[in-house]
A and B are shown apart, each in its own frame.
Chain A
């Protein structure tokens, strides 16, 4: 039981980092990124490829943290002259292109068979690393949120033209926040690869992106602690419903479908009665004269 609890906390920590990375893009800046699984996959594959070539783990981690911001800049390059709505399409497409590329490059990525990555044998170590990555990410996200930079991101979210009239370049802010967010997600990806011991294209689909989105929307976009709460609820619903299902004496396939249906029902009810999220973003009032 203790091992399972440790494992669940580890997974919650990884998905919380992903939720935070999307939150500073969408929750704070208003960037609709439907491909947030891409930097996560970049980090995971950097760890996997590095391991398959016989390099130590830190080379893979470094490669992931370098590749993610570079690819972020490449992906958002075509978005510079487009409205924010197009970010969704561009990022969604980029994530799928990456998944299909790794699927079709078996010599480097293992193709559909994927790559085996050295696992953390000690579950406590895995949890400690995941929590450490979460702590760093959370502190960074909090720092951004409370800084003048974060306030400008929120101005961008509310009105891009207003931000421009203040002499700020929206694309610079959007690019910089994307770079930070993608590095966070890449760090989560590296950690995840060493937790699961395996990377394959099937782990980085659109479904995974929407799990991150659900966590952010459920927890409260714009609120860092809220999205961590959202990620925890999503993962705990999945885990706890397995135990509840075990009590019910019904055919396993029916239970499995009921389990997913109940999961969906909880989310629908949440969105109906608490659309602002469980821990909504607090309204910030700044007195310009005092500041």
Chain B
């Protein structure tokens, strides 16, 4: 016997809130956006969501997809796995979106990818770089490259700077550990030596106990990756210990710098690049005009490109998930977006992105080189 009585009663309440009829030719195409608009790392996530919004504005201004405008449904994940699942279940089941664009770490992205795969839907990743995301071909497509590509460049940059020893200071999560592993391997392959490995637990008010080991290790360079208040506290604690090493960060623009004068010229890094030209520059200008904010993080471009690639796939293949999945790898071959050209491996994971080398000077990051 099917247990449908209870859900049907429950439905009658929810239906009042979210009832929809069958889609018509001129009806908007609904696209889901899942982002942690509250909780941790909100700034980056909000910017990704705004990047999607800018792209939807551009698509709608150009006549939409076969005359149908894009309508975004933005859901908050609170940076909690269950809320991310609640959001995704609502988007896929109630709003009937065929594809969702998501910001969040692997602990959120993987359960949502599991759900999307089971339901035959599309998920576009703009933030997580765990290698496990490659396990969802045809379901999950990444605009953000996996950690090992960018982090390998980070390791090479440190070796090229002349540093002989380096310490690793990263958050103890998939992102931090992924960056640490690939950067350290590249650095050691060029003759460098890792003298200390520190993986700190996020959310602490103070990290002096964690970073104290740097005093004894005396590294020439510090490999780091992090975001938000945690990164600010780590930078401050290390400065207070009098450690003078140069910092090398993956995605340095998402770090919160503690002391601008102290970090001037002392913080370098690599980020997915090419934003300062072509489409990237146009997105920068639109973003500043619409949101009055010139402090733009890389995730604006990832969000923008995610929406654009999805729209191109819908134009080419159609709006149902199976057609989108089939068209996605085809459309990226000629796609040149705000984050540059997109090259995917056969799992839909981004490889070979343009990479910028950044240096922190006078309170902002300057691009000193771009590796295409």
Chain A: CB-nearest residue to B109: A198
Q: Which one of A66-74, A152-160, A252-260, A276-284 contacts B?
A: A252-260
Q: Which one of B1-9, B250-258, B273-281 contacts A?
A: B1-9
Interface string of B128-141 (1 = CB under 8 A from A): 00101000000000
A5 touches B11 (CB 8 A): yes
Q: How far is the CA of A259 from the CA of B74 in the complex (A)?
A: 13
Q: Are A197 and B107 CB-contacts (below 8 A) given A1-B11, A5-B10, A253-B37?
A: no
Q: Are A202 and B172 CB-contacts (below 8 A) given A1-B15, A1-B18, A9-B6?
A: no
Chain B: CB-nearest residue to A201: B107
B3 touches A131 (CB 8 A): yes
Q: Are A6 and B7 CB-contacts (below 8 A) given A197-B114, A198-B81, A252-B49?
A: yes
Instruction: Name the interface size band of chain B.
Output: 35 or more
Closest CB-CB distance, B147 to chain A, in whole Å? 12
B93 within 8 A of A: yes
B contact residues around A198 at 8 Å (CB): 81, 107, 110-111, 114
A113 touches B130 (CB 8 A): yes
A202 touches B81 (CB 8 A): yes
Query: What total count of A-B pairs have CB within 8 Å?
Result: 136
A119 within 8 A of B: yes
A196 within 8 A of B: yes
Closest 4 A/B residue pairs (Cβ): A256-B37, A243-B17, A252-B74, A256-B76
A2 within 8 A of B: yes
Q: How far is the CA of A124 from the CA of B2 in the complex (A)?
A: 7
Chain A: CB-nearest residue to B15: A1
Give the dominant DSSP class at B's interface.
helix
B177 within 8 A of A: yes
B46 touches A196 (CB 8 A): no
Q: Report B's interface with A, CB cutoff 8 A.
A: 2-4, 6-8, 10-11, 14-15, 17-19, 33, 35, 37-38, 42, 46, 49, 73-76, 78, 80-83, 85-87, 89-90, 93-94, 105-107, 110-111, 114-115, 118, 130, 132, 172-174, 176-177, 201
B contact residues around A240 at 8 Å (CB): 14, 17
Closest CB-CB distance, A140 to chain B, in whole Å? 21
Closest CB-CB distance, A126 to chain B, in whole Å? 11
A116 touches B114 (CB 8 A): yes
Of the candidates A113, A116, A200, which one forms a contact with B81 in the assembled complex, judged by CB atoms under 8 Å apart? A200
Q: Report A's interface with B, CB cutoff 8 A.
A: 1-9, 11, 100, 103-104, 111-114, 116, 119, 121, 124, 127-128, 131, 196-198, 200-203, 207, 238-240, 242-244, 246, 252-253, 255-257, 259-260
Interface centre among A200, A203, A260 (most CB of B within 10 A): A200
Q: How far is the CA of A112 from the CA of B46 in the complex (A)?
A: 24
For this complex, 9 residue pairs linking A to B, each with C-beta atoms less than 8 Å apart, are A1-B11, A2-B8, A4-B14, A4-B89, A116-B114, A196-B114, A203-B80, A203-B107, A243-B14
B81 touches A1 (CB 8 A): no
Interface centre among A2, A11, A238, A260 (most CB of B within 10 A): A2
A contact residues around B7 at 8 Å (CB): 2, 5-6, 9, 127
Of the candidates A104, A113, A124, which one forms a contact with B132 in the assembled complex, judged by CB atoms under 8 Å apart? A113
Q: How far is the CA of A113 from the CA of B147 in the complex (A)?
A: 13
Q: How far is the CA of A285 from the CA of B349 in the complex (A)?
A: 66
A contact residues around B2 at 8 Å (CB): 124
A contact residues around B35 at 8 Å (CB): 252
A259 touches B18 (CB 8 A): no
Chain A: CB-nearest residue to B17: A243
